[in-house]
A and B are shown apart, each in its own frame.
Chain A
């Protein structure tokens, strides 16, 4: 095969470089969820077990690495891979519940605002503006610090700080759907207002909500790990990627994998969720697509 042909193949491979991405991302998302759900069966070690021999043990490909601790051990000799697998649990639990909460509040208020119009709409939208203007991490930090850092409180705070975009999205969709014929028909047919809202308008905004929620999962994972990294999120002995990273920071110069591995886990989880979300958007909600 001539060199130029090779180069051509190579560059066309790159050109298709993102075509396979949604498939890979879907697989990664599935792996992430599986790790979270089946952690006790998948993890090679108990994530809390301390093994002095594995203290700061390097990953398996390094010279002194072994297959016993595939991604190495942390300062207390706990298996990093097992802790990453268990860490997926809290990441997933917190982000899913937080988004259900944020989405629930946001969708409800958005429906009310879009449907009621007038003063109620204006009032709700100013509150939305206020929440969107709040410095996100600072507000979350403040509330978590005030309420105390427990998993429940982190979920509540993430819900409080994230609902506004759902409200704005749903309100916009309601306004555009409201004027369409089938809604007008339903009204003429004498259906109750709430019934029109739930039966006719909500189904039309579901796709946009699903897309926003998928993309938000990644955002909340990063936000939670940031809080945990700052010591104001998940508390030990619970396992969180952000917390692992914060612990690993002190050993960064002697054992880089303590800090790099959990960061890689966050990156891969968020990356695959984002790619998956973009793909969903192209399929379900082409109007919002970036292309």
Chain B
């Protein structure tokens, strides 16, 4: 077990290095930052001086090492626009995104689990068909379109909920439903197939033969057997939510990381973009690590 944990930690560290390389590549393909930073009338000497100051005259591998060194110190550059550390700007917005993703997850789970379980119990009935259509439709709906439809219906037509911004619970409902929709469909689909598998296991068949009530067999024994893949998948879906939040936040003007990234891109404020990509990627990486460790703890049969 200890060996497994160490190995996973090592793997994650190496993966983190590659993530930093991707972010570094992102920083380099944006071109010469001096063109953006300096006034248009600046001379070639100004530019060369500035490039030297930023370390852009160094060979690429040294530039990368400088970049990593700074990242480890928590320095991801200054926002061109706000003259503030890019990392701080991103971290300031992170709670809003985490809140949205968490509420979306709760929403997705609350509707996906009952749908998936019911579909598995009533396999082949109209309930199952409806559930499968729900899953299929949910995975094909463009997030931004769903968001706009919800605004049109619940905010414009019915006037029940606000269209944008962050504030009370009423502000959270539409964005959370929009963001969680895809995950709800995905989790429902997986719950259905995991439950079907669990209910066909010898263990559950035996429980049923031994005269336990059906609901107890389903909820206590089958669900417990199906829980591991479902929980793992939910954790992975959380990463999807963090990344997908950018579209939802734009539609609802939700002041999270995604909204500031789109703003930053439009203003060519690249350090903020890089910091946001880095922070989100690292969060997802840590999440994946925790999921794997949890998995091996829950199901000791699994060895890699």
Contact = CB atoms under 8 A, between A and B. Distances in A.
Interface of B is mostly: helix
A228 to B, nearest CB: 10
Interface in A6-24: 11, 14-15, 17-18, 21
Nearest to A145: B265
A134 B281 contact: yes
Interface string B141-162: 1111100110110001000000
Nearest to A291: B193
A138 B149 contact: no
A172 interface: no
B116 to A, nearest CB: 11
A141 B276 CA distance: 11
Interface in B272-304: 273-274, 276-277, 280-281, 284-285, 288
Nearest to A278: B136
B26 A271 contact: no
A214 B1 CA distance: 39
Given A133-B15, A142-B277, A11 B26 contact: no
B239 to A, nearest CB: 8
B261 A138 contact: yes
Interface stretch (B45-53, B76-84, B169-177, B240-248): B240-248
A134 B25 CA distance: 13
Contact of B11 (A129, A142, A229, A266): A129
A136 B190 CA distance: 22
A5 interface: no
B262 interface: yes
A137 B196 contact: no
A263 B148 contact: yes
A134 B246 CA distance: 14
Contact of B126 (A14, A127, A131, A242): A14
Interface in A241-289: 242, 245, 249, 252-253, 256, 259-260, 263, 266-267, 270-271, 274-275, 278
A65 interface: no
A137 B145 contact: no
Interface in B204-238: none
B22 interface: yes
Interface string A76-115: 0000000000000000000000000000000000000000
B266 interface: yes
A252 B157 CA distance: 11
Interface string A136-157: 1111011101110000000000
Interface stretch (A31-39, A46-54, A191-199, A218-226): A218-226
B26 A290 contact: no
A275 B136 contact: yes
B256 to A, nearest CB: 12
B126 A142 contact: no
A135 interface: yes
A278 to B, nearest CB: 8
B126 A146 contact: no
Given A130-B15, A130-B18, A135-B243, A141 B262 contact: yes
A232 interface: yes
Given A126-B15, A138-B261, A291-B193, A133 B288 contact: yes
B40 interface: no
Nearest to B13: A126
A139 B136 CA distance: 26
A230 interface: yes
Given A137-B244, A266-B142, A15 B266 contact: no
Interface of A is mostly: helix
Interface residues of B, number: 62
B137 interface: yes
Nearest to B190: A290
B252 interface: no
A231 interface: yes
A126, A245, A252, A275 pick with most chain B CB within 10 angstroms: A126
B247 A146 contact: no
A291 B123 CA distance: 11
Interface in B1-50: 11, 14-16, 18-19, 21-22, 26, 29-31
Given A15-B126, A18-B133, A225 B142 contact: yes
Contacts of B139: 274
A141 B261 contact: yes
B270 interface: yes
A60 to B, nearest CB: 21
Nearest first, the 7 A-B pairs at minimum CB distance are A263-B145, A130-B18, A135-B243, A271-B140, A17-B129, A14-B126, A270-B140
Interface of A: 11, 14-15, 17-18, 21, 126-127, 129-131, 133-139, 141-143, 145-147, 218, 222, 225-226, 229-232, 242, 245, 249, 252-253, 256, 259-260, 263, 266-267, 270-271, 274-275, 278, 290-291
11 contacts: A15-B125, A15-B128, A135-B243, A135-B246, A135-B280, A135-B284, A136-B244, A139-B281, A263-B149, A267-B142, A291-B193
Interface of B: 11, 14-16, 18-19, 21-22, 26, 29-31, 124-126, 128-130, 132-133, 136-137, 139-145, 148-149, 151-152, 156, 189-190, 193, 196, 239-240, 242-244, 246-247, 250, 258, 261-262, 265-266, 268, 270, 273-274, 276-277, 280-281, 284-285, 288
